[in-house]
């Protein structure tokens, strides 16, 4: 039986594409360091786990479609602590991960064939939801040499067409690590106001900003553009709850929220256990997020220092989140990443990276780049740098020998 044509058009996740090769390597007893996916080795906070251990409610029911009230209350407190005291529980829709919030937001703001501006490279799963809802993502290039910061207002505005409905940003950014400045956020808000575009801001990594930089949240502008601003948020990274599958969509646009609630009712609810557990976020020590940030800053510093030593590798220091985009001295980073899993071994160990081409919508871009997630302990990251350096050297030696043989034939 034939599937739909549109199903065939859903792009493969660059983050998971090479997983079968990693599984084969592991089945053969090879130790694979995973720098390919943002699933950190840091622990879920104890107060949240205690809720799981003490779980009594039987049966485990659905939660309300908008969200479980204790979790909504805890989130309201969280946003108030950040200084956004206007946020009420009625402005929050709980979603099954930020992933679902992205899907809801695109569906709620665009008709089929409408356009959404994104800054390239961008989080690859946006493409999945854009495909699902027949939305066209229009990439605006940013560059490694300028730390992937935004182009000027005129350049951004030049991408706006009558079909443009929204700008989708991510700050701190996955995959680049860039944290948009207050001035950049102001610029985007002004553009959206002038052209009546929705501004969708994915802030899954809000607290992970380094060198005393502070993230400027869309929440700071939400009252200025109440109809246009949509915050996409996640519990996954902030509280090491990737597997709990919880995210949030926050907006002051009540008719948009009402429509989204109707979709949410169609899928009944996010998990009751997950939400009850996550509601314990207000029991965490006040410096919990500061500690997490310090840990990632240390990891970034170790990895950055190591990567800078690798000849031919080009990288800028990420300002936030836990990813690097690195340009490697190889022609085809995807081939290199596959080879790392299929051929390269050093003391029976290898690394898994994500080829960065999947974070670009423009064909041909990012071909020699990889995304590296610093989700492992510093000592493991040091070992990963060693492995990467050896691998690049060996891979280029082999590629050179192969091309020599080919040219003699």
Ligand X SMILES: Cc1ncc(COP(=O)(O)O)c(C=O)c1O
Contact set with ligand X (CB under 6 A): 38, 97-99, 123, 170, 174, 202, 204, 234, 236, 242, 247
Residues 295, 304: Cα–Cα separation, whole Å? 14
Q: 170 vs 353, which CB is nearer to ligand X?
A: 170
Residues 177, 151: Cα–Cα separation, whole Å? 17
Q: What φ, ψ does residue 212 adopt, rounded to 5°?
A: 60, 15
| CA distance readout (Å), 52 to 278, 282, 317 | 10, 16, 38
Q: 108 vs 310, which CB is nearer to ligand X?
A: 108
Give the shortest CB-195-to-ligand X separation in angstroms.
24
Tell me the pairing of strands 31-34 and 229-234: unpaired
| Alpha-helix residue ranges (DSSP H) falling in 89-181 | 97-109, 125-132, 153-157
Give the shortest CB-101-to-ligand X separation in angstroms.
8
Q: 65 vs 234, which CB is nearer to ligand X?
A: 234
For ligand X, the nearest residue by Cβ is: 97
Q: 98 vs 189, which CB is nearer to ligand X?
A: 98
- Any bridge partners for residue 119, and if so which? 140
Give the shortest CB-180-to-ligand X separation in angstroms.
13
Give the shortest CB-175-to-ligand X separation in angstroms.
8
Give the shortest CB-397-to-ligand X separation in angstroms.
35
Give the shortest CB-242-to-ligand X separation in angstroms.
6
Q: 34 vs 163, which CB is nearer to ligand X?
A: 34
Q: 66 vs 124, which CB is nearer to ligand X?
A: 124
Residues 256, 91: Cα–Cα separation, whole Å? 10
Q: What φ, ψ does residue 327 adopt, rounded to 5°?
A: -90, 125
Give the shortest CB-278-to-ligand X separation in angstroms.
11
Give the shortest CB-38-to-ligand X separation in angstroms.
4
Q: 103 vs 164, which CB is nearer to ligand X?
A: 103
User: What are 300's two structure tokens?
Assistant: 């970034």
Give the shortest CB-105-to-ligand X separation in angstroms.
11
Give the shortest CB-258-to-ligand X separation in angstroms.
23
Contact 180, 213 (CB under 8 A): no
Contact 209, 180 (CB under 8 A): no
Q: 21 vs 359, which CB is nearer to ligand X?
A: 359
Residues 219, 232: Cα–Cα separation, whole Å? 10
Q: 300 vs 383, which CB is nearer to ligand X?
A: 300
Tell me the pairing of strands 229-234 and 198-202: parallel
Q: 357 vs 391, which CB is nearer to ligand X?
A: 357
Sheet holding 314-315, edge to edge: 314-315, 323-327, 369-373, 354-355
Give the shortest CB-97-to-ligand X separation in angstroms.
3
Q: 175 vs 306, which CB is nearer to ligand X?
A: 175
For 162, half-sphere exposure in the C-beta direction (CA atoms, 13 angstrom radius) is 0
Name the helix (H) or strand (E) containing 398. Answer: helix 378-408
Q: How many residues does the chain have?
A: 409
DSSP state letters, 160-207: --TTEEEEEEESS-TTT-----HHHHHHHHHHHHHHT-EEEEE-TTTT
Contact 203, 218 (CB under 8 A): yes
């Amino acid at each position: 039986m034939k599937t739909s044509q549109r199903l065939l058009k859903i792009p493969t996740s660059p983050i998971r594409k090479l997983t079968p090769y990693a599984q084969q390597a592991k089945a053969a007893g090879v130790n694979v360091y995973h720098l390919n996916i943002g699933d950190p080795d840091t622990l879920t906070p104890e107060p949240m786990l205690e809720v799981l251990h003490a779980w009594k409610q039987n049966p485990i029911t659905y939660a309300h479609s908008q969200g479980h009230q204790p979790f909504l209350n805890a989130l309201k407190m969280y946003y108030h602590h950040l200084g956004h005291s206007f946020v009420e529980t009625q402005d929050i829709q709980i979603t099954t991960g930020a992933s679902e919030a992205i899907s809801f937001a695109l569906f709620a703001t665009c008709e089929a064939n409408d356009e959404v501006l994104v800054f390239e490279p961008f989080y690859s799963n946006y493409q999945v939801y854009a495909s699902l809802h027949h939305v066209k993502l229009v990439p605006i290039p940013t560059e490694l040499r300028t730390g992937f910061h935004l182009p000027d207002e005129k350049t951004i505005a030049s991408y706006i067409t009558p079909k443009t409905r929204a700008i989708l940003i991510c700050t701190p950014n996955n995959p680049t690590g860039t944290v948009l400045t207050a001035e950049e956020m102001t610029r985007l808000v002004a553009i959206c106001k002038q052209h009546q575009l929705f501004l969708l801001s994915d802030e899954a990594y809000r607290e992970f900003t380094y060198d005393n930089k502070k993230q400027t949240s869309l929440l700071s502008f939400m009252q200025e553009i109440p109809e246009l601003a949509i915050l996409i948020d996640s519990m996954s990274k902030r509280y090491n709850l990737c597997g709990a599958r919880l995210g949030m969509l926050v907006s002051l646009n009540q008719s948009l929220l009402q429509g989204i609630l109707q979709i949410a009712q169609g899928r009944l609810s996010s998990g009751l256990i997950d939400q009850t557990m996550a509601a314990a976020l207000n029991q965490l020590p006040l410096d919990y997020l500061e500690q997490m940030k310090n840990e990632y800053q240390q990891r970034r510093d170790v990895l950055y220092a190591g990567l800078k030593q690798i000849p031919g590798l080009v990288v800028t220091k990420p300002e936030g989140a836990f990813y690097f985009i690195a340009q490697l001295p190889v022609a085809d980073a995807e081939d290199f990443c596959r080879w790392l899993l299929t051929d390269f071994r050093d003391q029976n160990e290898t690394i898994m990276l994500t080829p960065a081409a999947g974070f670009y919508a423009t064909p041909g871009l990012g071909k020699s780049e990889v995304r590296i997630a610093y989700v492992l302990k510093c000592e493991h990251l040091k070992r990963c740098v060693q492995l990467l350096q050896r691998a690049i050297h060996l891979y280029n030696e082999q590629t050179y020998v192969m091309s020599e043989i080919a040219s003699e034939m």
